[in-house]
A and B are shown apart, each in its own frame.
Chain A
Amino acid sequence: DAKTTQPNSMESNEEEPVHLPCNHSTISGTDYIHWYRQLPSQGPEYVIHGLTSNVNNRMASLAIAEDRKSSTLILHRATLRDAAVYYCILRDVAGNQFYFGTGTSLTVIP
């Protein structure tokens, strides 16, 4: 599976938008981009996923570069409850494993 590169940590002010970047320059045509997050002392939870087009759901938006070598998870208004580790993961359409990596630790400042 192709690897992803994320910043170790980021900070955001409460109620402001947050853009969490992910680089995946070796992505293949059949790799889906997934985002999960893990709140302190909890298991990971699904956020969003996509293949080529930008995606929106109630939690976040996923912006995928035209060449698919990078993507950005967008939280439109950060709240204190959004403080978590965010994982960007690639998984082949036929694959069954998620490789989580170390993710980006997001701190939200009140």
Chain B
Amino acid sequence: GAGVSQSPRYKVTKRGQDVALRCDPISGHVSLYWYRQALGQGPEFLTYFNYEAQQDKSGLPNDRFSAERPEGSISTLTIQRTEQRDSAMYRCASSLIDRGDEQFFGPGTRLTVL
């Protein structure tokens, strides 16, 4: 079946612009997670949802970062007024159940802020 998909796969933007990254989880999965991964590092937790409810946003670096999942399926991670330090791979994952042990990861969006 279809896995987790993310779009765009690559995004290049100029400093100060807003970007929206999309995640389409596996159909029927309850939980959706956002991570950020720097080169040579493991993924870093940002936030997660159960259905449409944001359960934990403690990993969001600052108030320029926000996420939503309005209908409990597709999610959008928005970064406002991007800065060069926001450049990274942004990964989305989903799990069948709340806090499932097996998270399925998408291919990621490579964000480059010039």
Residues of A within 8 A of B (CB): 32, 34, 36, 38, 42-46, 49, 85, 87, 94-103
CA separation between A101 and B102, bound complex, in Å?
18
Determine chain B's interface SS by DSSP, over half rule.
loop
A43-B91, A44-B105 known; A100 vs B43 contact (CB < 8 Å): yes
Q: Which 10 pairs from chain A and chain B are nearest by CB?
A: A100-B42, A43-B105, A46-B102, A97-B45, A96-B99, A49-B101, A100-B43, A44-B105, A101-B42, A43-B91
Given A43-B108, A46-B101, A100-B42, output 17 extra A-B contacts at Cβ < 8 Å: A42-B105, A43-B4, A43-B93, A43-B105, A43-B106, A44-B93, A44-B103, A44-B105, A45-B104, A46-B104, A85-B42, A94-B99, A96-B55, A96-B56, A97-B56, A98-B43, A100-B43
Residues of B within 8 A of A (CB): 4, 31, 40-45, 48, 55-56, 59, 91, 93, 99, 101-108
A38 proximity list for chain B (CB < 8 A) = 42
Determine chain A's interface SS by DSSP, over half rule.
loop
A34 proximity list for chain B (CB < 8 A) = 101
Q: How far apart are B104's CB and chain A's nearest CB, in angstroms?
A: 8
B108 proximity list for chain A (CB < 8 A) = 43
Please tell me which one of the listed residues B42, B48, B59 contacts residue A102 in the complex, with CB atoms under 8 A apart: B42
Q: How far apart are B61's CB and chain A's nearest CB, in angstroms?
A: 15
Q: How far apart are B6's CB and chain A's nearest CB, in angstroms?
A: 9
Of all chain B residues, which has the CB nearest A93?
B99
A49 proximity list for chain B (CB < 8 A) = 101
CA separation between A3 and B35, bound complex, in Å?
19
